[in-house]
Structure 1
Amino acid sequence: MATDKTIAFIGLGVMGYPMAANLRKKIGNDYTILICDVVDDVLQKFQTETAGTGPVRVVTNGFEAVQAADLVITMLPGTPAVKSVYLDATTGILAGVKAAAATQSSGKKIIMECGTIETAMILEVAQATRETASSLPSGWKLAFVDAPVSGGPMGAQAATLTFMVGVNNADNADGAVFNRVKSVLSHMGQPENIFLCGEVGAGTAFKIINNYLSAITSLAASEALNIGTKMGLDPKLLTDVINTSGGQCWVTSKSNPVPGVHPNAPASRNYEGGFRIELCRKVLSMGSQLAEMVGARTILDKPTLAAFDEAANDPRYAGKDARVVYKWLNEYEAKK
């Protein structure tokens, strides 16, 4: 099995599963896709659903994945998982690179995290990757890329995701690393929406800032539409007017929070299958932390965080898509 025709994908969650499935179905059957996840049933389901589209093989950890593949993509849920998958001395990706270099005089590996992870963790992995790269034989190249996504589960399923890529100039002097990852990411997103944002960490910063705005507009759009429904206005007509006027935003045009306005939106499926409110609150908090780090004044994040906290702590809305804040607002009964 040629490592340059083998891609590993670690983390088959709500986003990772459809991303990896689209990759397998679109990249061609001359490629082998390695999959890794902590849930065995998910691995079996993936193999069943992609049968006939090309070779799929299960690997147990990052150590095994990076020895068999020249490109390893991870879509992990948070800092603890990233630390384990990349940095564990026994089962981690970087340990796997070192083991491969001990038996091979040359190699070229790209390792890439696509989740929305705290900047400090991304930079820690980047630093560990640089240290590992400096210890490898002269014939080896190793690059770490952060490439968080935007578009949510619907975008992952439709392969219309936006990718925000960060790669160090020292690793990408000739553009080869970015070109390589773009060619692969294009099977999961739109090629024109794959952006080289800067050095490692820039991709994560772009994503956090985007999520900061998206979270706030989710609440703002829900408030505006709730005013309309309380007045007895037709929410679909109101949405059509907003979407041709100054209030238009991604929430009103792509994932409307009012049930029935967009048939395929989570709001029309009892707010299931979207970007969970707890995760939305987390990424908004990450934006607030980034603002504090750079000394940027913010106003809207704190009341929005308070709203998400209240909704997420209510069992009627917990675990639902973040646009459930519309339902939370609509069902609120003012205290007399």
Structure 2
Amino acid sequence: MSRTVAFIGLGHMGGPMAVNLVKAGHRVRGYDLSPASLKAAADAGVEPAASATEAVAGAEVVITMLPAGRQVLELYQDIVGAARPGTLFADCSTIAVADARTAHSRAVSAGMRALDAPVSGGVVGAEAATLTFMAGGGEGEFAEAEPLLAAMGRKVVHCGGAGAGQAAKICNNMILGISMIAVSEAFVLGESLGLSHQALYDVASTASGQCWALTVNCPVPGPVPTSPANRDYHPGFAAPLMAKDLGLAADAARSGGVRAELGLRTAELYAAYAAGTGAAEDFSGIVRTIRDQSGEQA
């Protein structure tokens, strides 16, 4: 069934996601602060709106994809009053669990319905409509949003009540960040021992070291031709975004009294990398920092 969707936030992730909704037969009105992002989406079939409030007026579902919780909460302050009562708000941004619950409450208090539905899969997944969605909210809201989310992704999981989607996302990305450090350190160790990248990959990818960071986003060029390592670490999933997600996980671990030693250390490593050479690189590029700090040539 075709729906009228407002999509706010048409950047590297949101733009392809909105376009995939258009391809699925939905009417999508989009808005972004960046004229270039708005034009790119419009060229692909998204109807451009002059403002966020214009985009949501008359929409059945409002999807947001923004960089941080502060921006989501500020936007909700502006747009919940412009939507018609009962509109479903689905936020696909990655933000703190507390911010997601505040956004949910803000929407519900204004007579709307709400869902947090962050994604995993990066720009490649957004473009190919192979994202994984982790949703938090009511059963009815999830049932309504699921066909739209499925048009943008390959896997849609209802994780629980408000904020549960964000909880699943930061836990997942803590696993990913830790595993990328582990894979990168293993390749640098292999180099020091005279082991070729291909030989290590051929063993680990079919043995107990197998993981997504190795088989999909391999941090060294060669073994996985589609990985960012073969494009000089041009992001798929940018290091600053990984640093942000790990920071959210670290904050949650500290506030919950969880002894997450590897998670906290990984957050520190990615914060330093993203603030330096990794500012415009894929998160897998941290292998070069590990190599440099090990005394090897980049």
Deviations 1:239-298 (A, max 9, x none): 121111111111001100002222221111111122221221221121111112222211
CA separation of 1:293 and 1:302: change in aligned 2, threshold 3 A: closer
* 1:36 corresponds to: 31
Contact between 2:76 and 2:107, CA under 8 Å: does it hold in 1?
Answer: no
State the distance in 2 between where 1:154 and 1:66 align: 27
1:307 aligns with 2:269: yes
Deviations 1:142-167 (A, max 9, x none): 21100000111111111111000111
Contact between 1:261 and 1:268, CA under 8 Å: does it hold in 2?
Answer: no
* 2:201 corresponds to: 239
Letter in 2 for 1:131: S
| Larger relative helix fraction | 2
- Total equivalences in the alignment: 295
* 1:178 corresponds to: 142
Name structure 1 gaps, 5 residues minimum: 101-106, 134-141
Residue 323 of structure 1: CA displacement? 0.7
CA separation of 1:262 and 1:144: change in aligned 2, threshold 3 A: same
SS in 2 for 1:47: helix
Residue 127 of structure 1: CA displacement? 1.5
1:115 aligns with 2:93: yes
SS in 1 for 2:293: coil
Name structure 2 gaps, 5 residues minimum: none
State the distance in 2 between where 1:62 and 1:44 align: 15
CA separation of 1:256 and 1:42: change in aligned 2, threshold 3 A: same
Residue 305 of structure 1: CA displacement? 2.7
State the distance in 2 between where 1:67 and 1:76 align: 19
Residue 333 of structure 1: CA displacement? 5.2
State the distance in 2 between where 1:331 and 1:226 align: 10
TM-score (norm 1): 0.83
State the distance in 1 between where 2:260 and 2:10 align: 35
Letter in 2 for 1:68: G
Contact between 1:65 and 1:93, CA under 8 Å: does it hold in 2?
Answer: no
Task: List aligned pairs for 1:16-55, cutoff 5 A.
Answer: 16-25=14-23, 27-28=24-25, 31-48=26-43, 50-51=44-45
Which of 17, 38, 57 aligns to 1:67? It is 57
Letter in 1 for 2:64: T
TM-score (norm 2): 0.93
Contact between 2:93 and 2:117, CA under 8 Å: does it hold in 1?
Answer: yes
Greater gyration radius: 1
Task: List aligned pairs for 1:1-336, cutoff 5 A.
Answer: 5-25=3-23, 27-28=24-25, 31-48=26-43, 50-51=44-45, 56-87=46-77, 92-97=78-83, 100=84, 107-133=85-111, 142-168=112-138, 172=139, 175=140, 177-190=141-154, 193-315=155-277, 317-332=278-293, 334=295
SS in 2 for 1:280: helix
Contact between 2:91 and 2:117, CA under 8 Å: does it hold in 1?
Answer: yes
Letter in 1 for 2:73: K
Contact between 2:178 and 2:262, CA under 8 Å: does it hold in 1?
Answer: yes
SS in 2 for 1:43: helix
